[in-house]
Structures are given as C-alpha cells and as structure tokens.
Amino acid sequence: MERVFRTVTTDLTGTEVVVLDGKRVHSVDETAIRLLSDLAGALDHAARVLLLAQFDVGPSECLSTTPALHFADVDAALEWCEDRLLLPMSESCAPDGSELTDQPLLHGLSPVEAAAVAELVTLQKFAAGEMVFREGDPADALFFLLEGTVSVRLALGDQVRSRRLATLGPGCSFGEMALLDEGARSADLVADEPSVVASLSTTALATLAADHPALISTIYRNLAQDLSRRLRATNAQVRALEQ
C-alpha cells in the first residue's frame, strides 16, 4: 500500500480520478486501512476523487467516513467515470418534456393530430429500479418519457452484470424500433428514479396511420432527425472516451 500511495500522489498532473480495484484483496490490516484513508484524504485535498472498487473486506466499513466512493466492481466505477466525463456533453431531449406535446418526436403535429395521439397513449408509472421492458421482449410500443430518468442497459456475458448504454430524461422517446419493425427489444430499459411514461402501442400507431397519414409521416421525419442527432452525439462521446 505504501508503494501505491507514493505512485498515486507523486504526480497528479492530468489526473482527476483514481480507481483502486480490490478484487484480489482478500484481507487488510490496520496499516493498509490507514494508508487508504490517508490516500483518500490526500486526493480530496488535491481536488481529486478516489474510487474503491470491490473492496469487500475491511475498507468498505472502515473507510465509510472518508472522501472515497465505493463501488461493487470496476465496471461500476468506470461507468461513474464515464458519466462524469460525458456530463458536459449531455443534453436534454426537450427543454420541458413533462407534456406529451413537448416531445421532439411529436413536433409539427396539428392540434387535431396531437389530440388523436393523446387519446391513444397509455400512462404508466415505474418505481426506481423497475424494468420498463427487458431485452428480448416484443417491440410492440413506442414510449415517451414525461417524468424521471431511465437507463438503457445491456446484459454482459455472465447475465449477472449489465452495462449502461445511455441515460434518458424527460422529453426523450425510446423503443422507436417499434416504428420500423416489430422485432424484439435489444436492451433492458430500467427506471433510475420514479418515472412516468406514455406508451403508444403498434396497434395504436396503425390506427393513427389509417386515420391521419400525415401524422405518421411527421413522426418518421422527426425520428430520422433524432436518430441522426443521437449518432452524432455518440460519435462525440466515443472520441471523448478515447482521449
């Protein structure tokens, strides 16, 4: 631990976050606990952050009052780092997405068309941690997020852990592939906090297409613009992560 302390604190130029992986740490003594505490304090004093990943023995409790963040594993710690890095580039899907008419995917609809959509949507409430849908579920509805935040997550190979692909806020739509094909969901969608979602089933979409053909054309145009925006944002995020 003394070597780790010296290596980390010798030169912090260009460093914002330090991640220590405790996966192979089976036990710690009082000296190691003190050094970890000192390291967390030194980094905090230098306006840096210490992340402890998978420290299941000793430090998780002994360091609970120190300025270090604890994570279940390295993946979770790195995800936190990515969130911190990408936050300045994040953008809301709409300035005020609490109303259905504020949804970018529905921009340009006439009052009559907007009313037709409102009549066919179903409002759903989800508690924090609750699944909106799972990977493999039928893609049979389009969703509009009115309140809260949700995350798109992809299960890893062990089917126990998952990787966050994106976090969405009010004004965002998801499940758009239901407009293009009626296949299966390609990822999980989970509520990060209490959330309110308006869903529009493929059956309702078919009804709208029959009764209001121009409405569906407008939605498809908005969808193309939204997918283009997301692709550009993803490219920018990938570049940022590689820097």
User: What SS3 class is residue 117?
Assistant: helix
Domains of the chain: 2-88 (3.30.750), 91-242 (2.60.120.10)
Give exposure, 125-134, as e/b (b: 16+ Cβ within 10 Å). ebeeeeebbe
Which has the higher per-residue pLDDT, 184 or 230? 184
Q: List the beta bridge partners of residue 150.
A: 168, 191
- Specify the pLDDT at position 113: 93
User: Is 90 a residue whose pLDDT tops 50?
Assistant: no
Mean pLDDT within 157-174: 77
Neighbours of 24 (CB within 10 A): 6
User: Is 118 a residue whose pLDDT tops 80?
Assistant: yes
d(CA 213, CA 1): 68
Which has the higher per-residue pLDDT, 137 or 176? 137
Match 């220590």 to its residue by tokens: 20
User: Is 89 a residue whose pLDDT tops 50?
Assistant: no
Mean pLDDT within 192-206: 92
d(CA 38, CA 32): 10
Question: Is-contact 201 195, C-beta < 8 A?
Answer: no
User: Is 63 a residue whose pLDDT tops 60?
Assistant: no
- Specify the pLDDT at position 48: 85
Extract the runs of DSSP E, i.e. beta strands, from the chain. 17-21, 49-53, 68-71, 122-126, 131-133, 141-147, 150-155, 162-168, 173-174, 188-191, 195-201
**Highest mean pLDDT: which of 94-103, 130-139, 159-168, 232-241?**
130-139
